[in-house]
Amino acid sequence: MTTTQGTAIAADREIDITGDLCPMTFVRTRLALDRMSPGQILQVRLRGEEPLRNVPRTAAEQGHAVLSLETGADGISVLRLRRAASASRA
């Protein structure tokens, strides 16, 4: 379990993009974030070097907070994002 300052991070919504390829990895992540309320937390399961590099970076560029990112021994990473109050629509 991932913690931030000793508190567990509970997700409001979860998506699994382990079977998707870029750019669909961020497209699916962005669509999920767009459907959420500001402040809610999205948990994203992803796999691969490119999504691991691009999804957190692009989410942060759009104003969302990257809360945590952990990679398991199986190669699957779990990313937790907090939906921004008003995300960039660029």
Q: Which one, of 86, 35, 25, 14, lies nearest residue 58 by Cα?
A: 25
C-alpha to C-alpha distance for 35 and 33, rounded to whole angstroms: 5
* Alpha carbon distances (Å) from 68 to 5, 31, 63: 11, 20, 15
Which member of 9, 13, 18, 22 is catalytic? 22
Is 22 in the active site? Answer: yes
Residues identified as active-site: 22
